[in-house]
């Protein structure tokens, strides 16, 4: 009898856990999924990024590349980065790493067809805000803003538009 009760309790617990696991905490980010190519760039620049689900749906991974042709002022360059988006304690979080050695830890807030990532405050460090907004025309607009150390006043640094490939 104990064994039967233990099986029933175990089944009930597993059912309740799988029921709560069925709610998708990353649902507000699904509009980002896919392969994207930057559009309307200046001559000599190109860029592309991909958002994909990984770890059995528990994270979204973004890989990004930006290429810049040589100019009279700068040699040709390539930037690569990786961002892993996940939930922790019911909040959406992200960790960012790039080819220049930057590491940024973000908290994120979603609204319909938009997400805003804001970096965690750190003493004597600038703050960063990364925003993606999907337009009705299929264009994904992105912006990256900076705030000086100790401030929450963000100023534009980069902006771009992309279309799914």
pLDDT tens track for 89-145? 999 999 999 999 999 999 999 999 999 999 999 989 999 999 999 999 999 999 999
Residue 102 domain boundaries:
24-164
CA angle 13/14/16 to nearest 5° reads 65
Question: Nearest to residue 85, comparing CAs of 119, 65, 58, 114?
Answer: 58
Residue 8 has pLDDT above 80, yes or no: no
pTM of the predicted model as reported, rounded to 2 decimal places: 0.84
Write the CATH number for 141. 2.40.128.20
Number of Cβ within 10 Å of residue 29's Cβ equals 20
Residue 16 within a domain: no
Residue 7 within a domain: no
Residue 10 within a domain: no
Residue 4 within a domain: no
Q: Are strands 77-88 and 91-98 parallel, antiparallel or unpaired?
A: antiparallel
Residue 79 has pLDDT above 90, yes or no: yes
Number of separate domains in the chain: 1
Question: Nearest to residue 61, comparing CAs of 95, 36, 91, 111?
Answer: 95
């Amino acid at each position: 009898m104990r064994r039967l009760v233990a099986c029933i309790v175990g089944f009930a617990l597993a059912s309740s856990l799988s029921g709560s696991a069925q709610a998708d905490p990353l649902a507000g980010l699904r509009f980002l999924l896919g392969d994207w190519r930057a559009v309307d760039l200046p001559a000599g620049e190109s860029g592309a990024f991909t958002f994909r689900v990984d770890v059995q749906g528990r994270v979204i991974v973004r890989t990004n590349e930006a290429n810049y042709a040589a100019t009279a002022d700068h040699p040709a360059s390539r930037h690569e980065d990786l961002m892993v988006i996940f939930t922790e304690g019911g909040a959406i979080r992200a960790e960012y790493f790039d080819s220049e050695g930057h590491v940024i830890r973000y908290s994120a807030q979603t609204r319909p067809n938009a997400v805003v990532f804001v970096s965690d405050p750190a003493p004597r460090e600038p703050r960063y805000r990364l925003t993606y907004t999907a337009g009705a025309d299929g264009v994904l607009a992105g912006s990256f803003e900076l705030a000086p150390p100790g401030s929450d006043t963000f100023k534009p640094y980069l902006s771009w538009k992309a279309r799914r490939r």
